[in-house]
Each structure stands twice: as C-alpha cells, then as structure tokens.
A and B are shown apart, each in its own frame.
Chain A
Amino acid sequence: MEQELRKEARKLLEEGKVDYIVGFAGGSLKFTATPLITKEKEEVASLVVNPFIVNNLAKFLTEVPGRIGIVAKGCDSRSVVSLIQDNQVIRENVVIIGVPCSGLIDIAKVEKLVNRDRDEIDDITLQGEKVAVIIGGRKTELPTKEVLFEHCLGCESPTPQEYDILVGKPTNAIGDKELSRRRIKQLEDMVPEQRWAFWKEQLGRCIRCYACRQVCPACFCERCFVEESQPQWISSVSQWQDNLMFQVIRNIHVAGRCTDCGECERVCPQNIPLRSLSKKMSEFVDEMFHYQAGLNKDAPALMTAYEQVEAEDLIM
C-alpha cells in the first residue's frame, strides 16, 4: 500500500494537480507517525501507512494554501467532507487519497498492558486478531481489540466513503461497538450528581493547553470564544469551572462536525477522557436528528438544516 501511495502522491505533484501533499511520515519516536506537508516530489518517498498514523490531517486543510492532495483514513475523509459542508474547503481544491484502515494501535493501551513505556518496547506488529509485542527479545501477544483506539473499535467507515484515489483494498473494521463506548456507558449509569463530580474532578486537572481544540479539524474559528475579552466568557487561566465550561461549549459548538477521530483524547497531556464528551454528543446528534458528520458532501450542515417538526418533546 505504501508503494502505491508514494507513486500516486508523486504523480499528483509531477502533473501539477496539487500544490502540496499532506500525508504521514515516520515519527522521531518509536511507534509514532508525524504529518508530512510538502511540495517536493522527492519527499513523498517518506510517506508511510502503518498502525500508528493517528493524526487527523484534515486539520491542515484550513491552513495550507492552494490545492492539496491529502492522505485520508476513513475518519479523516469524513472530516474533509464536513469541512466541505461548512464551506471551509472547496471540493475541487482537494484530491483525497483514501487509505482503508481497520484500526490503529493505541500505544498508551499497549504501554499499560505490558507495563513498559514505548521506548522500552522493541516491536509491535498487528497480526489480524492479535498484536505481537516484543520486549527484550520476548514476545507477548495481546488481543487486537484491547489495544486498538476506542474510536477505532466503533468505526463506521473503515474504507473512506469520499475519495478521488483509493490506495489498497477496501477493508472492514475490527470493531466492537460495546467496547468502544465502555466509558460512556459507565457515565450513563451514574446519577447526575456523580457525573458532575466526575467531570469536575477530571477537568480540575486541565491546564488549558488547547491541544484538544488545536488538533480538531472542526475547530476552525478565527477567534475562539475563549479568546473574547469583551465580554469575557470564561477565564483565561485554569480553574475547573471554566475548564468544564470550555469543554461543554466546545463540544456543543462542534456538534454535527465531530467525526470521532479520537484526536482530542489522544493528545491531552493530562489524559482527560475527552472522547466521552465528543462521542456522546455525536450520539445525541444521530439520535435526535439522524445525522452523522461528513458522510454526504452535498448535505446541509447539521445546524443549518431543520425539519418542520422535531425535538418538540424538549420544549415546554
């Protein structure tokens, strides 16, 4: 798949069909990939496809200029479509190079299960239902379902639904819907006071680094509500009340545009379970308005559409 990807990316640059290629290259740490943004055709030789290509590259569409050839997994291509629905990206300016993906390995889960940090692990190989982890020459096998990202376990589009070029063969997700919403279920089973106490404690640890907001392709506002000072909606420094407000408002603001790429939770340096907020919001969106983000580029965005009669049970 990698060879095919590199060939196609190079061709796009050589034929002048795109100005930039945005894809994944190998990272500087073990089991890490990193975004590659280049206009040099020699550099596309570094493009990779492996179980660690976690970044949602659609983020870069709202800042890299010109026409872009973007490498997109299923969730990424949904984000691209969502941006098109929001008129942030023009379809003709993007060449989507679809990469089928049955799930990515959450290195944090592996680290926890083998009780080692990533730099102490020699190798991790995805082998269908099992993942082989080699430490100091010794092999441990872990069930794949226990080391995939939770959002991968709940994946609805392992093969990108919108693409110009598809690299590799369409694939199925190694899914487990129940496992993918394990933590959300735990929260649903709590009484409201327990849930408030949970989020109060979790967001008390937030340091307002905004990594969650910055990785999110759906957060493309020139000026975020946090940065308003007249009026000031929330404090600019970290207090649990304002941290909680930040997350709640952010999730409501991106409702209908969140594609459950899981990046917000992955990048949080304090391991706050942010996906338990964003995924639940997209479930509400689906339940009430039968809408999922980024599946149809011609459909109106969630908040610009309406039915004559809906959600009346929530109005007095």
Chain B
Amino acid sequence: MECKSEWEPRIIGFLCKWCSYAGADLAGSGRKKYPANVRILKVPCSGRVDPLLILKGLRLGFDGVLVSGCHPGDCHYQTGNYRARRRIALTKKFLEYIGIPEERFKASWVSASEGAKFAQVVANVVKDIEEIGPNKLFAEDGQ
C-alpha cells in the first residue's frame, strides 16, 4: 500500500518584534496547540513590511503570507503599524484584482499578551489555505 504524502500548507509570517512575535512566544510557552505551518520571520515593526516581501513570498511558492503587528495606537514606534495598515489594505485589494485569492495574504493585530489569539489566527489562516489548495500561481505550465 502506498503511503500518500499529504500536502501541508507552507506559510510565511512576518511578525513584529515587540508585539506579535512576543505573542507567538507566549502561545508557545502557554503550550497552546496550533498548526505548525507558519515559518516566522521577525521584523522590527509591521511598518517594515514592504509589499515586496509579501509578493516575494508568494513568488517563491509559499502557500500564504501572514503579517502581524501591534494593535493600532500601541505601536512601539508610534506610527509604524498605521503605515502598515495602509500598505496592507492596498496590497490586499490589488492582489485580489490581479487574481490572487485573498486567502493567500492575511494580516492581523496580535499583542504580546495575546498568545491564544495568535494560535487562533494561525489556525484560521491554515484552514483557509488548506481549503484553496497549494500555491501554483507562479508555476510554469505543467509543473
């Protein structure tokens, strides 16, 4: 009997150092159960996230991209997440207009004390992506 290898979503997450990354840490130390499909990259602030990073993630073949930062008003650098919010909004809308399903790019606000929320966010993102399948957007025909 052949052992069928199930596809597991591979998601890249840009988490801001001060809030979301700490929140993810808290989820870990609190032993919260959540899918292990997100590869986390720490950025100093969600405002550092250029749409280039998001697109590059999708281009490289990641099935989804998550950007998470401090709640508006709580940014360690005061206004970084406000910038991020505008960029995220435009990027999301534009990607959808190009034809990239909106499930592939998600954004959230997760504070350092919201370990449970982070676990929930990841679970939701992974579930949505499992439903739409692997990212074959940039694949050559036949791959």
Contact = CB atoms under 8 A, between A and B. Distances in A.
Interface of A: 187-188, 192-199, 225, 233-234, 241-242, 244-245, 248-249, 251-253, 255, 280-281, 284-285, 288-289, 302-304, 306, 308-312, 314-316
Q: In the complex, which of the residues A249, A252, A315 has the most CB atoms of chain B within 10 Å of its own CB atom?
A: A315
Nearest to A225: B52
Interface of B: 51-52, 55-56, 59, 72-73, 79, 82-83, 85-101, 106-109, 121, 124-125, 137-138
Given A195-B99, A241-B138, A309-B72, A255 B90 contact: yes
29 contacts: A188-B97, A194-B99, A196-B99, A233-B56, A244-B98, A245-B55, A245-B56, A245-B59, A248-B55, A249-B51, A249-B55, A252-B90, A252-B91, A253-B51, A280-B94, A284-B93, A288-B90, A302-B86, A306-B82, A308-B72, A308-B73, A310-B86, A311-B85, A311-B88, A311-B89, A314-B92, A315-B109, A316-B106, A316-B121
**Interface SS majority for chain B:** helix
A251 B83 contact: no
The 6 closest A-B pairs by CB, nearest first: A196-B99, A306-B82, A195-B99, A311-B89, A316-B108, A252-B51
B100 A251 contact: no
Contacts, number: 97
Contacts of A187: 97
Contacts of A241: 59, 138
